[in-house]
Amino acid sequence: MTDVFISHPTPFNKNQTDFLKLIDEKLEKHHLNPTNLGKNNWNYQKPLKPIKELIIKCKGAIIIGLERHHSFIGYDKEGASNRNDKVELVHKYTSTPWIQIEAGMAYQAGIPLLVLKEKKVFAEGILDPNNSDSYIFEFELEKNCKKLSSPMEKIIESWIHEIPI
C-alpha cells in the first residue's frame, strides 16, 4: 500500500465520522493507506516534526476542511480606522488550523494535493480558491456521509491518478 497523508479535524459527529470512513475506504480500494499523526503515529515529540516526517514518506495528501468551530457573530478588522474595512460575520464556520499547517507542509514536499472543503466552512488560506494553487472541491457533508457523490468520487480518482506509485 502507498501512504497518503490525510488532514482533517478530529470528527465530532456521526456525519463527519461516516464521511471520513468513506474517504478511507475509497483510498484503500486503490491500495492507498491514509495516514496522519492522529491515526496511528503519535510519539513523544511535539507534533510538527513527526508530521513533517510522515508527509515526506507520503506520495500525496488530502486536506479536508470540515467544520470544527462555529461563531454566531464576529468581526474582521473590528477596530479598523476606516469603518468600511470592518466586516460583520454571522454564522462563520471554520476548520482546524492544523489543516492549514499540514497543507503547507505537503505543498512544500511537492506531493499531489487534493483539497476538499465542506461548503459551509469559511474559505480562507488553503480553502480559499483565490489563494490556493489547488482546485478546491466544495461539498455538502449531509449528501456525502452515506455514499460519496459521483462528483466527489471523480475528483478523488483524478487525484489518485496523479500519485506516483
Say what the pTM is: 0.91
CB 165 within 8 A of CB 2: yes
Residue 146, in any domain of the structure: yes
Q: Is residue 132 part of a domain?
A: yes
**13 Cα distance to chain centroid:** 17
In a domain, 75, yes or no: no
Which structural domain range is residue 35 located in?
2-67+95-160
Q: Say if 150 falls within a structural domain.
A: yes
Residue 73 lies in a domain: no
Domain count, the chain: 1
Edge-first strand listing for the sheet containing 32-35: 32-35, 2-7, 61-65, 113-118, 136-139
pLDDT in tens, the chain (165 residues): 999 999 999 999 999 999 999 999 999 999 999 998 875 555 666 788 889 999 999 999 999 999 999 999 988 888 888 888 888 889 999 999 999 999 999 999 999 999 999 999 999 999 999 987 888 999 999 999 999 999 999 999 999 999 987
12: left (phi over 0), alpha (psi -120 to 50) or beta: alpha
Is 76 among the domain residues? no
Q: Is residue 114 part of a domain?
A: yes
User: What single letter denotes the amino acid at residue 129?
Assistant: P
H helix runs in 75-148, sequence order: 97-109
Is 46 a member of any domain?
yes
